[in-house]
Amino acid sequence: MMRQQEDQTAAEATGVKSLAMATVFSSLWIAGQLVLSPMVGRLSLGPLNLHGVVERVLGWFLMATMTWLTARFGRITLMASVAAIGTRLFRPPSFESITVGAGYALGGLVFDFLYFRTRAHRSQDRFANRFWIVLFSAMSASAPYLLWKVSTLGLPAFFLLSPLYALDVAKGLVFSSIGATLGLRGKFGPALRSLFKATGGR
């Protein structure tokens, strides 16, 4: 009985710590968007503007880093949702802003679900798993905005502008991939996990 109580107490402490990390990471995502996004968004690489790049690189880096720190579904979704809501509070209210924020929350949910689904099934092909996780989460993040554009422009106009939207989706996928790769394969996640375990997390 005593052992069960100790395990329950440890599990509760771990849950609180992982929730705290999700809150800290969402704060970092919000701060990064508010501070860096206006500066980076004005830049361009040839014909490619960098609007939204900070959100993608930083957001998917933090999502991927969270996988080192929690073994529970829902923490990444929570982080992305809090970050999406938090940044909307500091931006002028508009349907475009709402759909973009909803996209980041949806991207976090898809990333969370796919990561823990493949982890639960103990799939061996890690590269393929990471590829599909990033692909589907990055594309789903663009879905609410594209649906809003279809509803406001209509299908004929949307179809004419589809090359521009396709380029924007591709840009999001590339920079989301960069962020996720840094989080999954970099040294920051393992180092943070060691610190997390040293304080009783898992």
Extract long-range pairs of 46-49: CB within 8 Å, 24+ residues apart.
Answer: 48/167, 48/171
Residue 58: strand, helix, or coil: helix
Residue 122's pLDDT is 56
pLDDT classification of 14: cutoffs 50, 70, 90: low
CB-count exposure of residue 79 (10 Å: 0-12, 13-18, 19+): buried
Residue 184's pLDDT is 82
Domain count, the chain: 1
d(CA 125, CA 25): 28
pLDDT classification of 194: cutoffs 50, 70, 90: confident
- The CATH number of whichever domain residue 118 belongs to comes to 1.10.1760
Which residue range is the domain that position 130 belongs to?
A: 2-198
pLDDT classification of 121: cutoffs 50, 70, 90: low
Q: In this structure, what DSSP letter does residue 76 have? A: H
Residue 197's pLDDT is 63
Residue 171: strand, helix, or coil: helix
Residue 89's pLDDT is 87
Higher per-residue confidence, 121 vs 153: 153
**14-to-10, 26, 93 alpha-carbon distances in Å:** 6, 18, 37
User: In 3D, which of 32, 111, 119 has the Cα closest to residue 75?
Assistant: 111
pTM of the entire predicted model: 0.85
Q: Which of 9-13, 66-70, 128-132, 172-176 has the lowest mean pLDDT?
A: 9-13
Residue 41's pLDDT is 84
